[in-house]
Chains A and B, each alone.
Chain A
């Protein structure tokens, strides 16, 4: 068996989902940390954003991140399609209820697609102006370095209540995706033995709640003018 084969069996493909998923979870943590600087000050956030935008190592990792996202999306959609094809004649009745398994566990493709749509909007709001088109206002950090005023961009974007609502929906989709996804990735990697199962389940939920609440707080705070 060669490497390619190992990762193209059903379990192999799920391992790819798990690996990329956990990698993206790690990114979320960093992203959340950096963005939380908005709650400290405009300069703190812009400085952090500048660091992320100018450090070579991070720019390289960014490529990896995009690769990871794309792989996760493509593999996810492919798996969903393949799995659907395993039952050509469906059931007429379905009594699955939330007591057996939560609804979001059965809706990962839907939630993932929503997150993907959200991501497209999100990237076009911030990443493209900052990294590609460079049509952002310049600002000077206290240490004299000139950089994009991403903070101002956020303030501008989150003036629209529609955008804020879309962001909140996006974060909610992400949260439910993670409620299942974090544990599922751990399960696929085999971490969820009897001893660690409940811990990992709990950890995934706590992590998701904290990260997603922080993310949700950002557009709300900007819109409400709690940070300026």
Chain B
């Protein structure tokens, strides 16, 4: 692969804190190697800003290997940028060429208030999990791991749903700022497994209620969440959650205490 270097113009959202109003600022970066990751390009920019005595741009990131779900940039109109099934930290600069302009915004949703610049508060996701995204199995309660065989395809499907990293790209991409893909991935992961079966209905109802409380929108099955998900979480999970919810509406077991 040929490596090259490039100069870029960046238009980045700057916002001092949650209360203040933000605005775009334009920055120039030079000699960016095509081998860098997108966030390494931001490192270069920040080092440059510090050297100039300016404030660097705040952005969330941690593992930089696409699994922790912390990075969250809306790049040129796409959550996590242009690559399919890729988090911001795994996007590499060979995508861009010399002279390009890149616009970077934070996730935008009222349920994800901006903390600073590109950093948003995603604790609403924690609270959705608290509402029912678990199996009630206390430590020490477990039977032998092989005592309940699980069909391989179900285990695989549960795994595919559990691959969600909770980054919030689905919310960021959704025109309704809905969290249904996130929520349904968790509900699917757990209800596909026999261990999670007893709580499936109450889980669906409680998690949906919490999602509404947090101020996320409703799902209109557009599919931009799936298209933007770095882990390829499928819309089928939303259908599954809806089934659970319908089961709770018309069957027994959906009433919360």
Contact = CB atoms under 8 A, between A and B. Distances in A.
| A touches B (Cβ under 8 A) | yes
Interface of A: 1, 6-7, 9-15, 79, 82-83, 85-96, 100-101, 105-106, 108, 180, 183-184, 187-194, 197
Contacts of A106: 175, 222, 224
A179 B242 CA distance: 20
Contact of A1 (B24, B77, B255): B255
12 contacts: A9-B212, A10-B212, A10-B218, A11-B218, A83-B177, A86-B215, A91-B77, A106-B222, A187-B221, A189-B242, A190-B241, A192-B236
Per DSSP, chain A at the interface is loop
Contacts of A184: 220-221
A194 B108 CA distance: 31
A89 to B, nearest CB: 6
B221 A92 contact: no
B242 A79 contact: no
Contacts of A83: 175-178, 217-218, 220
Given A184-B220, A190-B243, 20 more contacts: A10-B212, A11-B208, A12-B245, A14-B219, A15-B249, A83-B176, A83-B217, A86-B110, A86-B176, A91-B74, A92-B105, A93-B103, A96-B78, A100-B227, A105-B221, A184-B221, A188-B219, A190-B244, A190-B245, A190-B246
A13 B212 CA distance: 11
Contacts of B22: 89
A103 B103 CA distance: 23
A92 B218 contact: no
B209 A93 contact: no
B205 interface: yes
Contacts of B242: 11, 14-15, 187-190
B77 A96 contact: yes
A79 B175 CA distance: 12
Contacts of A191: 239
Nearest to B255: A1
Contact of A193 (B24, B222, B240, B249): B240
